[in-house]
Amino acid sequence: MVKNYLKVALRSLLKNRIFSLINITGLALGIAASLLIMQYVSYELSYDNFNQNADRIYRLKTNRYEKGVLSTEWAAGVVSIGYLLNENLADVEAYARLTQTSGVFSRGDIEFAESKVYFANPSVFDVFDTKILYGDKETALVDPSSVAISKTTAQKYFAKVDVVGETMYFNKNRPIKITAVFEDVPQNSHFKYDILASWSTMAQGERAQQANSVWYWDGYFNYVMLKEGVNPEEFAGKVDDFVEAQWGDEMRENETWMDFDLQPLRDIHLYSNYMMEAEVNGDGDAVYALLGISFFIIIIAWVNYINLATAKSMERAREVGLRKVLGSLRGQLIRQFLTESFLINLLAVVLAFGIVVLALPSFARLADQPITMELFMQQGFWVGLGALFLVGTFLSGLYPAMVLSSYKPIDTLKGGAVSGSRGAWLRKGLVVFQFMASVGLIIGTYTVYEQISFMRNQELGVNIDRTLVIEGPSVRDSTYQEKLTAFGDVMEANANVRKVVVSTGVPGRSVDWNAGGIRRQGEPDTEGKQYRVLGIGYDFVETYDLKLVAGRSFDESFGDEGSKILFSRSAVRQLGFDNIEDALNVDIYFWGQNYTIIGVLEDYHHTSLKENYDQLIFRLIPDASNYYSIKYEAANTQEVIRLAEENWARFFPGNPFEYFFLDDRFNEQYKADQQFGSVFTIFSGLAIFVACLGLFGLAAFMTAKRTKEIGIRKVLGASISSILQLLSTDFMKLILVSVVLAIPVAYYGMEQWLNGFAFRIDLYWYIFALPAVLVLTIALLTVSFQTFRAAKSNPVKSLRYE
């Protein structure tokens, strides 16, 4: 019986080649797109799942308040909280405390500047599921000047993995002993490190004791692993009670409050974007938006099948009647039509697999994910493929099978008793759903494009063009200031170089130097506020074309500039001045010292337009060693790089020459949004194509059913344009309904997405009008292609039809 079902199903596919091709192609594209997106989503959702105790691990986010108003949220918060909770609350099984550092590591002639370096306490290996390959995790980070390094780091310096007991040097002059080698941290980790140095290496003596009690040092990641069965909500309440008991009186006195949020380990990658994140995190909303697109695409493909199958039911009504007269039961008919669905979906799955194989490398580059051919070795891929196949077979095949098998033989064999209106409302509803989804996706794509373009083309208020930035030297000696001056002089002597300036930060990177308690001289401690502090050298303001709106900038000719300071416009407002001129020559108290405000700079976008203007303070630090910014002439970029590298080796030997172009680095802030926009655009376009593919098939079928009517109208004098209008009107009505329904839904969704940006576009009418016109045009062309052929045909042939 199964053989007979397959034979009849195959004959039906071959008889209706066009419709079979449309169905198979649409389903294959839908399945392939869904598989690719689901792999992307699956990877994003897999972050930190490799930790066996991930469900019990939480990061402590620090929230700081000033007079009841939330001022800052820190991913890397206070130094002592993890340690104190571990010591005082029985619910904590272990804690990890880490803070980042960097420097030059070397062994003989091999040297590299390492940035993924963290000081960590010994129990970090109890919290994070890091596999120790060599060494003892219990003692690896106990002694001062001991480090644990990754497998890749060991191979980079020693060309082997078992290097426990070997010695490396930090910044040339400090020997460090390797006490453990661990497996590389997986790519799908929100926290990646290559070298872990013992906490005691950093925190020795009095500072080590302070690190276990103070709460005002920021810049430290704190994780706690709760004991089995501990309720995290109840534990969060205990943390609040502990903070109140420990620092409540002190914070109330200063009117500066602090509390902590527990961030589940698995949520950090997708839902955390706070100060001093360890890595650039993802976007949970974007991930689920793409997951929604994948469902829309596959549902649109299944809808195509249902639409065409129910439309074709009028042609197959007589076949059903004959089968029933010959003794076929309804169950047998349902199995027959489900077999056809099975065969179409099977062929679609095979074709989809081929599309995935071909598209995977390009998609992996587009999504910037390590998706390789190993994907096909994963059980999850085949489970997903099998699920789409089985669900597609039943969902897309069951309704047409039920409709076809329900015809009464007497009516079908009389001919004409089965009306084309049967299932018409369902078909119309499905077409509306398809194009409603398509219009919504295009509006979303257009909005994302407009927002990204707005951010990239907006006036920043700072000149980042033609700027080469060198990572400052880690290896320095007492002659550093003289070498810095000599390096700048030699570089500026070249006609291709306009200026060399130093700073503790550059645009495109968040200002991690956060200072609290800053207030006007004479004001009480309770008036202290938090600011971001940027250390700059002379000429930084002029070199970066920052706009001075009041006062002056730093100038060597004045002398005693070390006690002067610059504020941004937002910083002056936070200090309490509505008129910026009033802030000039005001003395402020800053970390135990007095400074005088000599100038106010216009606000500028130090980071992306996702963030609001920072309250920035600019301190003069002429020997800053974090970044060297070189302004150069665009026509001689390579010459400037060569010159800089040559003089770097001359003045700062032992320091690797690492540089980047500032405009490129600044635009990297939008990389995730651009990737999201690209993926969104491609798959939205694919959804439209699949929807139009179904519309093409439906239009072809409906035109064929009205061939005789077209011939009669032509004989009676109807023009081609009137026939096109007649055949297209019904479809256009459905598309218009789709547009009307899609616009409010898309507006709400895009408004929610744009609210995540401090500087954003407005949703103007054309953002909705252009996608609507585009979809209407595509749909009209799709329908017209079929109807024009019928309208142009010889009416004599039309009247011979049937």
Quote the CA–CA distance of 385 and 354 in Å, as a whole number: 12
Residue 284 pLDDT exceeds 60: yes
419-461 per-position pLDDT tens digit = 445 456 766 777 788 788 888 888 888 898 888 888 888 889 9
pLDDT tens string 338-378: 777 778 878 888 888 888 888 888 888 887 777 766 666 76
Three-state secondary-structure class, residue 802? coil
Structure confidence at residue 525 as a pLDDT band (50, 70, 90): confident
Find the helix or strand (DSSP H, E) in which 541 lies. Answer: helix 540-543
What pLDDT is attached to residue 47? Answer: 92
Q: Work out whether the CA dihedral 60, 64, 65, 69 comes out positive or negative.
A: negative
Res. 19: pLDDT tops 80? no
Q: Under a CB-based contact definition with an 8 Å cutoff, are residues 776 and 736 in contact?
A: yes
Q: Closest Cα partner for 750 from 771, 733, 774, 734?
A: 771
Q: Is residue 548 scored above 60 in pLDDT? A: yes
Q: In this predicted model, what pLDDT tens digit does every residue of 87-115 receive, in sequence order? A: 999 999 999 999 998 888 999 888 888 88
- Cα radius of gyration (the chain): 34
Beta carbons of 256 and 516 less than 8 angstroms apart: yes
Query: Is residue 221 pLDDT above 70, yes or no?
Result: yes
Rounded CA separation 400/664 (Å): 55
Work out the mean pLDDT of the chain and round it to a whole number: 83
Name, in order, each residue with C-beta under 8 angstroms of 206's C-beta and a sequence gap of 6 or more.
Answer: none
- How is residue 602 annotated by DSSP? P
Q: Say if CB 589 and CB 518 are below 8 A apart.
A: yes
Joined together, the tokens standing for residue 789 give 């052929």
Specify the higher pLDDT residue, 166 or 732: 166
Q: What is the 3-state secondary structure (H, E, C) of 427-467?
A: HHHHHHHHHHHHHHHHHHHHHHHHHHHHHHHCCCCCCCCCE
pLDDT tens, position by position, 166-204? 999 998 888 999 999 999 999 889 999 999 999 887 655
- Confidence band of 553 (pLDDT split at 50, 70, 90): very high
Q: List the structure tokens of 537.
A: 């050298």
What's the pLDDT score for residue 60?
A: 95
Q: How does residue 562 score in pLDDT terms, banded at 50, 70 and 90? A: confident
Nearest to 260 by CA among 466, 74, 7: 74
Specify whether the CB–CB gap between 166 and 106 falls below 8 A. no
CB 701 within 8 A of CB 310: no
Which one, of 57, 37, 35, lies nearest residue 48 by Cα? Answer: 57
Residue 465: is its pLDDT beyond 50? Answer: yes
Q: Would you state the pLDDT for residue 316? A: 59
Does the structure show a pLDDT above 80 at 318? no
pLDDT of residue 219: 85
pLDDT of the residue at 519: 86
Residue 124 has pLDDT above 80, yes or no: yes
The CA distance from 107 to 102, in Å, is 16
pLDDT for residue 463 is more than 80:
yes
Q: What pLDDT, in 10s, does the model give residues 590-647? A: 777 889 999 999 999 998 888 889 899 999 999 998 999 999 987 788 999 999 999 9
Global pTM value: 0.82
